[in-house]
Chains A and B, each alone.
Chain A
Amino acid sequence: MLEVRDSHAYIGQTYVLKGVSLEVRHREIVALIGANGAGKTTTLSTISGLTRSRRGKILFRPDPDATQRDITRVPAEEIVSMGISHCPEGRQVFSDLNVWENLLIGAYLRKDKQAIQSDLQWVCELFPILGDRRRQSAGSLSGGEQMMLVIGRALMSRPRLLLLDEPSLGLAPILVEVIFEMLEQINAQGTTILLVEQNARMALELAQRAYVMETGRVTLSGTGRELAENEEVRKAYLGAT
């Protein structure tokens, strides 16, 4: 579905991605783990078009029978309409807009009014609290609710591929469980997920496959279970001694 081939990228003057290659297959959950500054967030930004890679290729095929497209130089707004939705880190809701407007703006590029309505319903079934608070300003929601809103907003563009950056950041463990269960459900309903996580334990449990990044490169890859049992990963990211 998604193929990143030897991607090199800079943030300002800093050389952040030094040749990242990875692959996401249809209907998978793939996790990208690694320490701070390894380049996980930048990898997502190059995919969604927020950051341009200097070298390398990013290829995307929304459905198994669709044609593959090179999206390396495609502008961000067009990438959204092709079916990639990027949830940036830090629960960036539009706090001046109410909950309903936040969800609607997720569907900004869509013209199919009826399908938007039914998707709104679907999101409210996934996260009932959002329906209850639809008139409230998004800034007044709790951290967990904002996270749900951000995911719901991303789903409103009907993505084939959902890019999630640190959904567990700053949330109570119980809420993290809830969010991860939701991700599993969203995935079961047909959305492919590429997940960046600090919480390696939970990410490896959820993901079918995972990549480990260190200082701008992918250093390890494998199934979630393989990596969870890998000695180095256990030491570096799972707190094993």
Chain B
Amino acid sequence: MVGYIAQQLVNGLILGSMYALVAIGFTMIYGIIRLINFAHGDIVMIGAFVTLGLVISGQIPFPVIIILVILAGALMGIIIERAAFRPMRGAPQVTGFITSLAVSILLQNLGILLLTAQPRNFFCPDYLQTVFNLGSVSLRTIDLAIVVIAVVLMVFLVLLVRFTRLGMAMRATAENLKVALLMGININRIIMLAFAIGSGLAGVAGMMWGARYGQIDPLLGFVPGLKAFVAAVIGGVGSIPGAMLGGYLLGFAEVLFVGLLPPIYSSYRDAFVFIILILILLVLPTGLLGRKMEEGV
């Protein structure tokens, strides 16, 4: 039993790592331009396909693939921001929200058009499939890699935001766009950077998603996008540590729910996720680590 719970906790850690990576981008973009970006999940899909393309195209070493996937995600984020969201800057929040839905539908259908809706097997090189046992917990190399990569990236991001001049400018811009502009901060660059970082992380999450589930299709972004949204809201939208916390909480909650309750309930796990969300928002309307809402600008 202890071994079973340990295995479930490890599974929660893996799932949580993916949710956290996607939630970070969600929260960063909301934090800076108050945009609820429903196209964010589709970057996960793009990351998964880019990874697959790189893996089958030849002998590219795994660390290089990771970097290329991050760059591809970041580039996608920059393009989307430039093409879709920048023209909508200053428009009401709802307009941005609807724009993001449009971008999401566009990306999904482009995916179907170019790649067909047929799910594809996600090839994982053999050395990533090696199973090893830690006591009663069994892990594949890729599972370990998922957790390690996620943690390294998150530590890197926190250090960037906390301790660098750029991070300071990002925090300032997130708090007060107008005054940041008066400090001489190039707002467009900061917004672009938030999209690039957030989408880069979502791209890596796509790689992990494919490796974990073994099959990918152009519509796979919906579920991680939605879960990341929930994770970001649980943690407090706009707070990066909140998104991480929310992601891991959600990962653990989901896995434990499925793992510990009788199997007939396991198909209700998404309902369960939303019940958690509702309960947390009832008690803490701004999420676990969210700031008090400032008045509308």
Contact = CB atoms under 8 A, between A and B. Distances in A.
B182 A105 contact: no
Contacts of B171: 94, 96-97
Contacts of A11: none
Contacts of B183: 80, 105-106, 108-109, 153, 157
Contacts of B169: 105, 108
Interface residues of A, number: 22
A36 interface: no
Interface SS majority for chain A: mixed
A105 B175 CA distance: 13
B9 interface: no
Nearest to A81: B184
Interface string B168-209: 110110111011011111100000000000000000000000
Contacts of B175: 94-97
Interface string B63-106: 00000000000000000000000000000000000000000000
Contacts of A157: 183-184
Interface residues of B, number: 17
Nearest to A86: B182
Contact of B179 (A77, A94, A101): A94
A13 B179 CA distance: 23
B184 A77 contact: yes
Nearest to A109: B184
Contacts of B186: 77
Contact of A94 (B165, B172, B184): B172
Residue in B169, B171, B182, B186 whose Cβ sees the most chain A Cβ within 10 Å? B182
B169 to A, nearest CB: 7
B176 to A, nearest CB: 6
Interface string B146-184: 000000000000000000010011011011101101111
Contacts of B176: 92, 94
A104 interface: yes
Interface string A83-104: 0011010001011110001001
A157 B184 CA distance: 9
A109 B185 CA distance: 8
A76 interface: yes
Nearest to B176: A92
Contacts of A109: 183-184
A146 interface: no
A48 interface: yes
Contacts of B182: 48, 50, 76, 80, 85-86, 88
A92 B184 contact: no
Nearest to B182: A86
Contacts of B174: 96
Contact of B181 (A50, A85, A104, A106): A50
Interface of B: 165, 168-169, 171-172, 174-176, 178-179, 181-186, 291
Nearest 9 interchain pairs by C-beta: A80-B184, A109-B184, A77-B184, A92-B179, A94-B172, A76-B181, A108-B183, A86-B182, A94-B175
Interface of A: 48, 50, 76-77, 80-81, 85-86, 88, 92, 94-97, 101, 104-106, 108-109, 153, 157
Given A97-B171, A105-B169, 4 more contacts: A77-B185, A88-B178, A95-B175, A96-B174
9 contacts: A81-B184, A92-B176, A96-B171, A97-B168, A97-B171, A104-B168, A105-B169, A108-B184, A157-B183
